[in-house]
Amino acid sequence: MAYEFVDNYREKGARKQLVAHLRKRGIEEEAVLAAIGKVPRHFFFDKTFWNQAYKDIAFPIGDGQTISQPYTVAYQTELLHIGKGDKVLEIGTGSGYQTCVLMELGAEVYTIERQENLYKRTIQVLPYMGYTPHFFLGDGSRGIPEHAPYEKIIVTAGAPFVPEIMLRQLTIGGILVIPVGDAKEQKMVTVIRTGDNEFEKIELDTFRFVPLVGDQAW
C-alpha cells in the first residue's frame, strides 16, 4: 500500500460533504461531526482509491479487514459521549481511523489490534499524522486489564456476547459500546456501569461488522 500524505483542497471539500451527509443521516453531536471533518480519511487509502475515501462506505484495508463506514464510526462515537481527557479502550484498531476520531475529541486512547500487519501499519501511519495513542498487539476480547479502568470502551468488531471481563474494566459511570449478534448481523449495544455490580444495557440499531475473534469472542 502506497501512502501519500497530502491534504489538498479537493479532499477537504469532499470531507465537508461527508459531514453534511452524516448530519442528514441523523448524527447530531457537533463535536463528533467536527472530529470527522478534521481527520483526513484518504490517508488510510492507497492513492488509487482516494475517490472512495469520503464516501459513506466501508472499504478493504487488507488482511480481510475493513476501514469502518464513516456513519458507523460517527454512530459509535456519539454513543460514547467522549469528554476531554477520557481514558478510552478501543478494541480493533483496524486502519486507525476511529482512533483518530476519538483523539480529535480529546480522548486518551488505548487501542488493541490482533492482526500484526495492521498493527505494524498503524504504529507508523498514526504518529506520522500526529496521533499518538497507546498501541497494543493481541487479543482484545478480554480488554486490557493491566491499564483498566477506562471511562469508555469501544469494540469495533462483531461479538457473540458482551464479555463480562470487559464490563469489569469500566469506571462507575463508564460506557461500553459493542456490536453483538451472529455472523450475519449485530445490534449495537451500550452498557453503562451504574454501580459496582449494576449495569444498564440498551440495544439499538442493526449493523454488519467483521467478527471479533478471540478468547471472549468467536
Q: Within the chain, how many helices (H) and strands (E) appear? A: 6, 9
The three three-digit cell numbers of residue 69, written as one number: 463506514
67-86 burial, b for 16+ CB within 10 Å, e for fewer?
bbbbbbbbbbbbbbbbeeeb
Does 42 sit near ligand SAM (CB under 6 A)?
A: no
Point out which span in 34-42, 107-115, 168-176, 189-197 binds ligand SAM (CB under 6 A). Answer: 107-115
Point out which span in 3-11, 80-88, 95-103, 165-173 binds ligand SAM (CB under 6 A). Answer: 95-103
Q: Which residues contact 48 (CB under 8 A, 6 or more apart)?
A: none
Does 78 sit near ligand SAM (CB under 6 A)?
A: no
Q: How many CB atoms lie within 10 A of CB 199?
A: 15
Residue of 41, 42, 54, 68 marked active site: 68
Question: For residues 46, 67, 105 and 24, what is the CA-based torsion angle, rounded to 10 degrees?
Answer: 100
Residues 136-175 within binding reach of ligand SAM (CB under 6 A)? 139-141, 156-157
The three three-digit cell numbers of residue 112, written as one number: 488493541
- Build a one-symbol-per-residue string for 173-212: x at contacts with ligand SAM by CB under 6 A, - elsewhere: ------------------------------------xx-x
Q: Which is nearer to ligand SAM, 166 or 191 (CB)?
A: 166
- Among candidates 139, 76, 128, which has minimal Cα distance to 105? 76
Task: Respond yes or no: is residue 141 known to be catalytic.
Answer: no
Binding site residues, ligand SAM, CB under 6 A: 65-68, 73, 91-92, 94-95, 97-98, 112-115, 118, 139-141, 156-157, 209-210, 212-214, 217
Active-site annotation, residues:
68
